[in-house]
C-alpha cells in the first residue's frame, strides 16, 4: 500500500495538498509545527472512502515547499 | 619616421583594435555619434577573430550583455557617447556590485541633454565620482592620441581583470574621429591570461558559483563594501598614471587631460618662447587621481591653470590636491567649444 | 518492496523557501529542477534570476546562477549564451521584470532568436514590493496601486506579452500554462521540458508563461487563489501553445 511522508517543519499550512488528494487522506493537523502553524498530516485511510493512498503523488506535485515524499 | 607597421586610423578604430589585441571577444554597442566608427569597426573585426558582436536594442541592454559575457568569464566591452553612457550607469553599478571586469568607452560629446556631437569633457564627474548608485569606482583612463586610444584600451582590459573592476576609457569626439598614424604592434602584444574560477561556466567539477550584488543578511553588504574600499586603495597605489612636462622650474603649471592637454602642451611651448616659465601636468588616470604627484609640483607660490572642455569639473580634484584655491585658476569652454591656444595664453597673461 | 516515487530533485537544495504559503514560485522552481535532473544537465546550467520575489532563487537552486538588474535578465542571458553556446542558459522572470521594465529586452532577445529559455511567472502583481499593479493585473483587480480595481482609463489593459512574442519570427516556442491544479502543473512541466529541449537542440528562443498564485497580495487563501486562476485569470490569459 502506498504512503507519503510529510516534512512537517517545512510545511507552511497552505492546504493545497488537502484538496489535491483524490482520496481525502490529508488533513489539517491539530497541533502546531515548529513554525507555529497548523501543518498537515496524512492518514492511511479516511472515512470518505476506504481506499488508501494509491501513490498518485498529486499532493507532492502541488506542494510549493517540496515537503512530501511518496512511497509505493 | 620609418614604417614600423603604422597605419592611419581613427581614434575610435584604434580603440577597437586595442580591445581585440587585449583578447576582448565580446562587444555590444548602439549607434551614437561621435563613436559610431568604433561600433562599425567591432562589427567587422569580431567576425574576423571569431568573437561576438551584438548591436543591442539600447545602451542599457548593451551594458547588461557585457555583464553576461563578463560573468561567464570572457573579456567584454561596450562603447557609447555621453547620453548613452548615462543609460549604462545602473549596469556599471551592478558590475561593481558583483566585482565583474568590463571596459566601457565614453567618446564624450557636448551636453547636457541631447547636447551636440562636438567634443566635450563634461562627463568627468559622472566617470570619476561614480555615475551610478553606491560606493564604487571605475578606473578612468584618459587618452590624448589615437596611439593612446589603442594602448590604454589594452591596459584597461588588464586592469579590469587584475582587480575585477570596471575601467572607463574617457575620450571625446576629437580623439574618436581624428586620424593619426598608429603603431599597431598587435603580434608582439601578449595579453595577460588570468584564471577565472569565480566565473559561471556550469558547475562541472566544482560547487556552483553564485554571482550577485543583493546582500541582505545583517552586515553582509557592509563587509563587501569594506573589501571594495580596500581594493580601491590598492588600485590607487598601483595604477595612478600622469605625465609631467617642463614642471621643474615652472611658475605656472597648466593642468589638462585628453584633447585639452594637447592644446595646453602647445601653449607651454609657446609660453616658454615668450620666456614665461610654464609647465604642464596631464592626469592620465582620472581615477585614481594623481593628487600627491600634482601636489609635489607646488613650490609654495606656483600657480595652476586648469583647462577643460566643461564648466570646471576636474578643477575640484586639483583644488583638493593643491589645497590653496587662490592659486588654482580655470579656463574652460562648454557645449562642444574647444579652447584655443590664444585664449589660454591670454588667460595665463591675466593671472598675477 | 517499497520504493520512492516522488522526492526532492537533486538540483534543488534541501532548504525551506522564503516564499509565502501557497505561492506558485516554489512549485515552478521544483519543476525546473526535475527537468534539469531528467536531462542530466545540472553541470551545464547557468541561470539568470530576476529582481522580484524570485530574486533569491539561487538559494534554492544547486547550479550556477547570476542575478540581473531589474528587467535586464534577457540581455544578461544573451551575453552568457553568446560566449558559452555549449551551456544551457535560462532566465526566471516575473511579470514586472519581463513585461514592464524589461519589455524591450525580452522582445529583442526573442527577435534575435537567442538560443535561451525564458520561464515567465505571471502572478499579476509585484509581490516583493507589496502587491502593486503589474502589467498583467486584470481589469478590476484590486492591488496596492489600484485600490478601486484596475481601470482601463487610468491603468490601461493587461498586456498579452506572450502573444506579442509569439509574433516574432525569432521566437521558436511560446506556451502559456498554469499551476493551479496538479493536472495543469504536469502540463507546465511538459511545456518547460519542451522549451529546454528546443534550446538543447539549438533551435532558438523558447518561453513558457506560467499563471501562478500570489495568495498574499490577492488577499485569498491559497486554495481560493487557485480557484481564481481557473475562473478569472485564465479568461484574460488563455492557456495553450502560442508558437511551435
Contact C6 A60 (CB under 8 A): yes
Is residue B191 very low, low, confident or very high in pLDDT (cuts 50, 70, 90)?
Answer: confident
Contacts of A13 in chain C (CB under 8 A): 21
- Structural domain boundaries of chain B? 5-238, 244-349
For C82, the closest of B52, B205, B213 (CB atoms) is B52
Asked whether the bond before B288 is cis by omega within 30 degrees of 0, the reply is: yes
The answer to whether the CB of C210 falls within 8 A of the CB of C122 is yes
CA B69/CA C83 separation, integer angstroms: 6
Contact C56 B214 (CB under 8 A): yes
Domains in chain C, CATH or no CATH each = 25-243 (3.40.50.970)
Distances (CA, A) of C193 to A35, C111, C186: 34, 22, 11
Question: What's the CATH number of domain B244-349, 1.10.3720.10, 3.30.450.260, 3.40.50.920, 3.40.50.10800?
Answer: 3.40.50.920
* pLDDT number for residue B4: 67
Contact C226 A63 (CB under 8 A): no
Q: Does C129 contact chain B (CB < 8 Å)?
A: no
Chains A and B touch, contact meaning at least 3 pairs of CB atoms under 8 angstroms apart: no
For A72, the closest of C3, C19, C25 (CB atoms) is C3
Domain A3-71: CATH architecture, name and number where available: 2-Layer Sandwich (3.30)
**Which of C75, C91, C103 should be substituted to probe chain B, the one whose Cβ sees the most B Cβ atoms within 10 Å?**
C75
The answer to whether the CB of B165 falls within 8 A of the CB of B155 is no
Tens of pLDDT along B144-174? 999 999 999 999 999 999 999 999 999 999 9
Close Cβ partners of B235 (under 8 Å, ≥ 6 residues apart): B137, B139, B159, B163, B165, B288
Tens of pLDDT along B206-241? 999 999 999 999 999 999 999 999 999 999 999 999
Q: Do domains B5-238 and B244-349 have the same CATH topology?
A: yes
- Structural domain boundaries of chain A? 3-71
**Which of C18, C53, C58, C83 should be substituted to probe chain B, the one whose Cβ sees the most B Cβ atoms within 10 Å?**
C83
Tens of pLDDT along C23-32? 999 999 999 9
Contact B64 C75 (CB under 8 A): yes
**Digitized pLDDT (tens) for each residue of chain C, 244 residues in all:** 899 999 999 999 999 999 999 999 999 999 999 999 999 999 999 999 999 999 999 999 999 999 999 999 999 999 999 999 999 999 999 999 999 999 999 999 999 999 999 999 999 999 999 999 999 999 999 999 999 999 999 999 999 999 999 999 999 999 999 999 999 999 999 999 999 999 999 999 999 999 999 999 999 999 999 999 999 999 999 999 999 9
Contact C80 B28 (CB under 8 A): no
Higher pLDDT, B2 or B93: B93
Q: Does A55 contact chain C (CB < 8 Å)?
A: yes
**Which of C51, C55, C79, C116 should be substituted to probe chain B, the one whose Cβ sees the most B Cβ atoms within 10 Å?**
C79
Distance from CA of C78 to the nearest CA of B (A): 6
Domain B5-238: CATH architecture, name and number where available: 3-Layer(aba) Sandwich (3.40)
**Which chain C residue has its CA at the smallest distance from A70's CA?**
C6
* pLDDT number for residue B187: 61
Distances (CA, A) of C129 to A49, C52, C144, C159: 44, 8, 10, 20
pLDDT at residue B90 greater than cutoff 90: yes
Distance from CA of A63 to the nearest CA of C (A): 7
CA B68/CA C67 separation, integer angstroms: 10
Tens of pLDDT along C20-62? 999 999 999 999 999 999 999 999 999 999 999 999 999 999 9
Amino acid at each position: 500500500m502506498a504512503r507519503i511522508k510529510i516534512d512537517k517543519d517545512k510545511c507552511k499550512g497552505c492546504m493545497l495538498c488537502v484538496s489535491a488528494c483524490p482520496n481525502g487522506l490529508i488533513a489539517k493537523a491539530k497541533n502546531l509545527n515548529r513554525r507555529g502553524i497548523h501543518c498537515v498530516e496524512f492518514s492511511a485511510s479516511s472515512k470518505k472512502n476506504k481506499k488508501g493512498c494509491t501513490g498518485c503523488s498529486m499532493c507532492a506535485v502541488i506542494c510549493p515547499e517540496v515537503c512530501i515524499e511518496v512511497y509505493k | 619616421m620609418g614604417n614600423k607597421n603604422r597605419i592611419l586610423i581613427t581614434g575610435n578604430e584604434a580603440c577597437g583594435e586595442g580591445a581585440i589585441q587585449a583578447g576582448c571577444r565580446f562587444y555590444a554597442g548602439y549607434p551614437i555619434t561621435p563613436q559610431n566608427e568604433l561600433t562599425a569597426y567591432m562589427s567587422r573585426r569580431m567576425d574576423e577573430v571569431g568573437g561576438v558582436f551584438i548591436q543591442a536594442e539600447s545602451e542599457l541592454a548593451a551594458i547588461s550583455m557585457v555583464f553576461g559575457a563578463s560573468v561567464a568569464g570572457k573579456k567584454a566591452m561596450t562603447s557609447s557617447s555621453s547620453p548613452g553612457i548615462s543609460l549604462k550607469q545602473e549596469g556599471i553599478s551592478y558590475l561593481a556590485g558583483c566585482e565583474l571586469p568590463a571596459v566601457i568607452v565614453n567618446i564624450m560629446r557636448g551636453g547636457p541633454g541631447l547636447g551636440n556631437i562636438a567634443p566635450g569633457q563634461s562627463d568627468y564627474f559622472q566617470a570619476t565620482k561614480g555615475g551610478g548608485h553606491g560606493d564604487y569606482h571605475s578606473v578612468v583612463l584618459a587618452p590624448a592620441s589615437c596611439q593612446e586610444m589603442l594602448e590604454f584600451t589594452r591596459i584597461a582590459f588588464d586592469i579590469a581583470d587584475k582587480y575585477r573592476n570596471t575601467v572607463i576609457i574617457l575620450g571625446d569626439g576629437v580623439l574618436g574621429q581624428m586620424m593619426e598614424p598608429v603603431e599597431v604592434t598587435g603580434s608582439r602584444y601578449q595579453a595577460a591570461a588570468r584564471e577565472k574560477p569565480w566565473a559561471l561556466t556550469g558547475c562541472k567539477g566544482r560547487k556552483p558559483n553564485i554571482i550577485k550584488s543583493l546582500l541582505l543578511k545583517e552586515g553582509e553588504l557592509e563587509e563587501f563594501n569594506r573589501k571594495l574600499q580596500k581594493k580601491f586603495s590598492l588600485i590607487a597605489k598601483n595604477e595612478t598614471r600622469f605625465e609631467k612636462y617642463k614642471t621643474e622650474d615652472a611658475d605656472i603649471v597648466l593642468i589638462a587631460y585628453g584633447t585639452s592637454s594637447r592644446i595646453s602642451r602647445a601653449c607651454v611651448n609657446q609660453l616658454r618662447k615668450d620666456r614665461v616659465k610654464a609647465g604642464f601636468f596631464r592626469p592620465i588616470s582620472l581615477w585614481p587621481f594623481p593628487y600627491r604627484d600634482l601636489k609635489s609640483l607646488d613650490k609654495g607660490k606656483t600657480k595652476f591653470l586648469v583647462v577643460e572642455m566643461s564648466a570646471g569639473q576636474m578643477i575640484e580634484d586639483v583644488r583638493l590636491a593643491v589645497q590653496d584655491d587662490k592659486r588654482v585658476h580655470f579656463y574652460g569652454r562648454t557645449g562642444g567649444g574647444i579652447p584655443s591656444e590664444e585664449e589660454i595664453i591670454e588667460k595665463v597673461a591675466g593671472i598675477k | 518492496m517499497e520504493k520512492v516515487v516522488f522526492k526532492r530533485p537533486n538540483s534543488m537544495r534541501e532548504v525551506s523557501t522564503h516564499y509565502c504559503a501557497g505561492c506558485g514560485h516554489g512549485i515552478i522552481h521544483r519543476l525546473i529542477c526535475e527537468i534539469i535532473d531528467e536531462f542530466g544537465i545540472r553541470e551545464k546550467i547557468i541561470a539568470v534570476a530576476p529582481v522580484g520575489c524570485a530574486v533569491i532563487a539561487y538559494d534554492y537552486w544547486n547550479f550556477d546562477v547570476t542575478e540581473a538588474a531589474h528587467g535586464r535578465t534577457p540581455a544578461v542571458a544573451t551575453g552568457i549564451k553568446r560566449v558559452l553556446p555549449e551551456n544551457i542558459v535560462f532566465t526566471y522572470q516575473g511579470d514586472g521584470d519581463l513585461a514592464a521594465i524589461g519589455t524591450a529586452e525580452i522582445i529583442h532577445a526573442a527577435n534575435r532568436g537567442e538560443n535561451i529559455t525564458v520561464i515567465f511567472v505571471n502572478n499579476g502583481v509585484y509581490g516583493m514590493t507589496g502587491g502593486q499593479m503589474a502589467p498583467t493585473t486584470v481589469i478590476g483587480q484590486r492591488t496596492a496601486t489600484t485600490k478601486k480595481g484596475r481601470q482601463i482609463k487610468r491603468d490601461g489593459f493587461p498586456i498579452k506579452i506572450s502573444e506579442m512574442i509569439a509574433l516574432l519570427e525569432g521566437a521558436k516556442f511560446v506556451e502559456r500554462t498554469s499551476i493551479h491544479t496538479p493536472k495543469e502543473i504536469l502540463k507546465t512541466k511538459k511545456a518547460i521540458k519542451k522549451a529546454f529541449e528546443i534550446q538543447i537542440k539549438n533551435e532558438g528562443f523558447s518561453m513558457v508563461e506560467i499563471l501562478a498564485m500570489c495568495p498574499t497580495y490577492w488577499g485569498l487563501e491559497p486554495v481560493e487563489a487557485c480557484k481564481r486562476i481557473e475562473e478569472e485569470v485564465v479568461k484574460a490569459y488563455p492557456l495553450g501553445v502560442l508558437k511551435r
